[in-house]
């Protein structure tokens, strides 16, 4: 099952999460969004709880969607400790989606074995600092 997040719950459920979080930006009118949703749910099962999958309805959360400068839907952004580590948008082929699946699965399994500490890298601004800024 995919958890639905909004502008209010996003900081706590995504940015402050102790696990990597794959954020799926979608809209009800987006046909491709509906097509890939079962694939995303299977990714979550493949990762066996190592990642959290959440969905953001871009139409209902325009400010949040705009803060990440989405160019198209669906858009997938993988966050780890509040920092985006991978992004896929403008999906053109099944191969792109499969490459992202491989990356997310390997990333989730590798971070599952590592101790989780919230670290700060001064070269990478936190998303909470970047929302509304030209960084994204």
CB distance 127 to 83 below 8 Å: yes
Query: Looking up tokens 């949703």, which residue turns up?
Result: 37
Q: Does residue 33 carry a catalytic annotation?
A: yes
Q: How far apart are the first and last CA of the chain?
A: 28
Length of the chain: 136
Of 2, 15, 30, 83, catalytic: 30
Of 5, 21, 33, 40, catalytic: 33
Q: Does residue 30 carry a catalytic annotation?
A: yes
Task: Enumerate the active-site residues.
Answer: 30, 33
């Amino acid at each position: 099952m995919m958890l639905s997040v909004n502008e209010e719950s996003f900081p706590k459920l995504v940015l402050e999460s102790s696990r990597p979080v794959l954020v799926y930006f979608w809209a009800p009118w987006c046909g491709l969004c509906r097509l890939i949703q079962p694939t995303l749910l299977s990714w979550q099962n493949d990762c066996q709880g190592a990642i959290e999958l959440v969905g953001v309805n871009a139409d209902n959360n325009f400010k949040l969607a705009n803060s990440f400068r989405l160019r198209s839907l669906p858009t997938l952004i993988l966050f780890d400790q509040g920092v985006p580590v991978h992004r896929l948008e403008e999906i053109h082929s099944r191969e792109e989606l499969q490459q992202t699946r491989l990356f997310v699965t390997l990333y989730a399994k590798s971070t599952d074995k590592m101790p989780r500490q919230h670290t700060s890298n001064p070269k990478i601004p936190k998303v909470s600092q970047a929302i509304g800024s030209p960084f994204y």
